[in-house]
Chain A
Amino acid sequence: MTAATVGALLAIAVWTWAVVAWCGRRPWGDAGRRFFRHPSATKGMVVLVFLATVALCAPLVTPFAPYQQILTLQDHAPTWLHPLGTDFIGRDVWSRLAYGARVSLGVGTLGMLVAVTLGGLVGAAAGYFRGWTDALLMRCVDIGLSIPRIFLVLAAIALWGKLGVVALTVLLGLTGWFATSRIVRADVMSVRERPYTDAVRALGARPWWIVLRHVLPNSAAALIVSAALGIGNMMLIEAGLSFLGAGIQPPQPSWGNMIADGRDQLATAPWTALFPGLAIAVAVMALNATGDALRDALDPKARGV
């Protein structure tokens, strides 16, 4: 680790503090106040902002390229130069961890975006139109929820042979929307019964317009919460797939394939698999903590406190 790296990390820490503090002082209204009063909200946000910034600024905080191999330094224990040690082909674990954050957080976030969009649309359509649309869509959801997801994804990966990052993200999204759509459907059904929906309908608005403009925003809270809590799950599944050898392709680092790479060395060079595992745990924890706080803030009646 060079002085420049330490400096960059410190700068990111300061930036993180500034961002979170700034957000905390914005007048977001009731929900915002409730969010920041939640005991785990600030902690979760600090970790997330920090990790996201490290991921975005990976070249600034890493002394080595993530694929640079120093073959005289394989499986080397942490030193000042390699703060988290080196892996089985002499790559700097810290540098790979920082670049891996891009992939792991990116796949999780974008995958969830796909899932939430799809789940939101399907749920809204089913909840709004009812009838056979609802029946058909919900049966599909039942099927999706009934096949264990890991089987589904493994079979799909076998189907395409190997997947790029984009395809993997889409695949995770496509297999992850089922639960979301149920939540949204329930929400939409209750919104649909409210008087103002009837009023808009009476004014002659098109059904899709009503759904997009009036119904969906009302279930936005449910969507946001399910997304925040779902990203962590996405990341865990990506890691599990990489562990089974079906995830992100080398030399691109992801936290999951770093664990898979380090598996054989776990007894002799524990740092190679230990740190990416901890990174996943910390990131998912932060996501869950933030998700909890969001849920409590956006949905006062479900407040667990």
Chain B
Amino acid sequence: MRAWLLRRIAAGVAIVFASVSISFLAIHLAPGRPFLPVDERPIDPAVRDRLNRIYGLDQPIAVQYVRYLAALAHGEMGESFSQRRPVAEAIADAAPNTLLLTTSALAVDFTFGILIGLFQAARARRRSDVALANVTLLFYSLPIFWLALVLQLVFGLWLGWFPTGGVDDPAVYGSLPLIGQLANRLHHLVLPALTLGIVGAGGTARFQRASLLEALGQEYVRTARAKGLAESAVLIRHAWRDALLPMISLAGLALPFLLTGAVLIESVFSWPGLGKLATDAISARDYPLVLGTTLLATCAVVLGSLVADLLSVVADPRVRLTT
């Protein structure tokens, strides 16, 4: 176990290093430069030379790479060009928003996914199962940004039930009591989290249904049934427990999906999270910020799969650890 953990961590560090190096090379080779005029007012070349010198961009790329790695080894991610402050600060401001969005979406995803999956398994091959199977298949197949736009139009603009963007209403947020602040945030969270969660729930439900049905076919479930247990008890107490195990690794794998979704969702709902930070950084050629966000995303994915593997060991001692 310990050796396995150490090996996994070493592999994780290597992966992160490789991904940072690839990103470094990619973004520096990309055409376009930082410090571009944002609104069609040409920037004075002298001003840009000045900025290039300040940020060390006048050095050869190899020098910049070594400098970046050296700084990174000391825990420094550098200064963002477009925000004129440390990358760590920019990420520290954005990460909680993405964390809130993705965890809420994951909650929606698993709540709906598991419930629908259970319901379908209980009614397997009946009309309601087939109908729900079509619905989950539809959600699973929707382009997420399109769903976001449609929900924003219908529930934000036409019905006016939910805000169309942002994490809170800055005009009133500061003066609200704590419960009001909570409500305000929740109100803003509903549409983005629901969009992201619903698309994921389609996949989760399909997975849950399949693994439940597989479990229902197992020997011990048949035994339980033979003992005269009620069908619902068989489903919940026996089959479900067994079918939850694969769900844990599914949760670990859901992370890359959620991050990709967050990039698109955050752009539609003006959500100031990591996805928006990253896309803005790419279009501004804000090299340190691009690298910082890639670093964080890679770490999250590596950690996510590690935690999922560990959890499945805890949940089921029969699982063997291999790299």
| Residue B51, interface by CB 8 Å | no
A158 lies within 8 A of B27 (CB): yes
Q: Mark B210-239, 1 if CB is under 8 A from A, else 0.
A: 100110000000000000000000000000
Which residues of chain B are within 8 angstroms of A244 by Cβ–Cβ distance?
A: 264, 267, 279
| Residue B278, interface by CB 8 Å | yes
Which residues of chain A are within 8 angstroms of B32 by Cβ–Cβ distance?
A: 158
Which A-chain residue is minimally distant from B302 (CB atoms)? A146
How far is B145's CA from A176's CA once the two chains are assembled, in angstroms? 20
| Residue A150, interface by CB 8 Å | yes
| Residue B150, interface by CB 8 Å | yes
Given contacts A139-B14, A267-B153, contact A158 B143 (CB under 8 A): no
Of the candidates A154, A256, A270, A289, the one having the most CB atoms from chain B within 10 angstroms of its own CB is A154
| Residue B188, interface by CB 8 Å | no
| Residue A304, interface by CB 8 Å | yes
Which B-chain residue is minimally distant from A154 (CB atoms)? B282
Which residues of chain B are within 8 angstroms of A154 by Cβ–Cβ distance?
A: 279, 282
| Residue B22, interface by CB 8 Å | yes
Q: Give the contacting residue for B15; candidates A142, A267, A284; CB below 8 A.
A: A142
| Residue B69, interface by CB 8 Å | no
How far is B27's CA from A240's CA once the two chains are assembled, in angstroms? 20
A288 lies within 8 A of B140 (CB): yes
A267 lies within 8 A of B157 (CB): yes
How far is B282's CA from A142's CA once the two chains are assembled, in angstroms? 24
Distance to closest chain A CB from B110 (angstroms) = 19
Distance to closest chain B CB from A186 (angstroms) = 11
B19 lies within 8 A of A147 (CB): yes
Given contacts A139-B15, A266-B153, contact A148 B260 (CB under 8 A): yes
**A residues 262-277 in Cβ contact with B at 8 Å:** 263, 266-267, 270, 273-274, 277
Of the candidates A40, A146, A270, the one having the most CB atoms from chain B within 10 angstroms of its own CB is A146
- Place the interface of chain A in its size category: 35 or more
Which A-chain residue is minimally distant from B285 (CB atoms)? A158
| Residue A149, interface by CB 8 Å | yes
Q: Mark A233-276, 1 if CB is under 8 A from B, else 0.
A: 00010011001100000000000100100010011001001100
How far is B15's CA from A243's CA once the two chains are assembled, in angstroms? 30
Distance to closest chain A CB from B310 (angstroms) = 17
Q: Give the contacting residue for B278; candidates A151, A267, A282, A304; CB below 8 A.
A: A151
Which residues of chain A are within 8 angstroms of B59 by Cβ–Cβ distance?
A: none
B149 lies within 8 A of A263 (CB): yes
B15 lies within 8 A of A143 (CB): yes
Given contacts A139-B14, A142-B15, contact A151 B143 (CB under 8 A): no
Which B-chain residue is minimally distant from A295 (CB atoms)? B210
Of the candidates A148, A150, A158, A239, the one having the most CB atoms from chain B within 10 angstroms of its own CB is A148
Which residues of chain A are within 8 angstroms of B301 by Cβ–Cβ distance?
A: 145-148
How far is B29's CA from A156's CA once the two chains are assembled, in angstroms? 10
Distance to closest chain B CB from A114 (angstroms) = 20
Q: Give the contacting residue for B256; candidates A148, A158, A239, A280; CB below 8 A.
A: A148
**B residues 109-150 in Cβ contact with A at 8 Å:** 124-125, 130, 133, 137-138, 140-147, 149-150
Distance to closest chain B CB from A195 (angstroms) = 24
| Residue A155, interface by CB 8 Å | yes
Given contacts A39-B130, A158-B282, contact A289 B260 (CB under 8 A): no
Q: Give the contacting residue for A277; candidates B11, B140, B150; CB below 8 A.
A: B150
Which A-chain residue is minimally distant from B140 (CB atoms)? A288
Which residues of chain A are within 8 angstroms of B29 by Cβ–Cβ distance?
A: 159
A304 lies within 8 A of B260 (CB): no
How far is B144's CA from A263's CA once the two chains are assembled, in angstroms? 14
Distance to closest chain A CB from B154 (angstroms) = 10
How far is B263's CA from A122's CA once the two chains are assembled, in angstroms? 30
Distance to closest chain B CB from A289 (angstroms) = 6
How far is B145's CA from A288's CA once the two chains are assembled, in angstroms? 19
Q: List 10 A-B contacts (CB under 8 A).
A: A40-B137, A147-B298, A150-B259, A232-B141, A240-B260, A263-B149, A274-B150, A277-B142, A287-B141, A304-B214
Q: Taking A155-B282, A158-B30, A273-B149 as given, write out 18 further A-B residue pairs in contact, using a Cβ cutoff of 8 Å, ordered by the A residue number.
A: A139-B15, A143-B22, A145-B256, A146-B256, A146-B298, A148-B259, A148-B297, A148-B301, A158-B282, A239-B146, A240-B264, A243-B143, A243-B145, A256-B143, A259-B143, A259-B145, A285-B137, A304-B214
Chain A to chain B: the 7 pairs with minimum beta-carbon distance, closest first = A304-B210, A284-B141, A277-B146, A158-B30, A285-B141, A155-B26, A148-B259
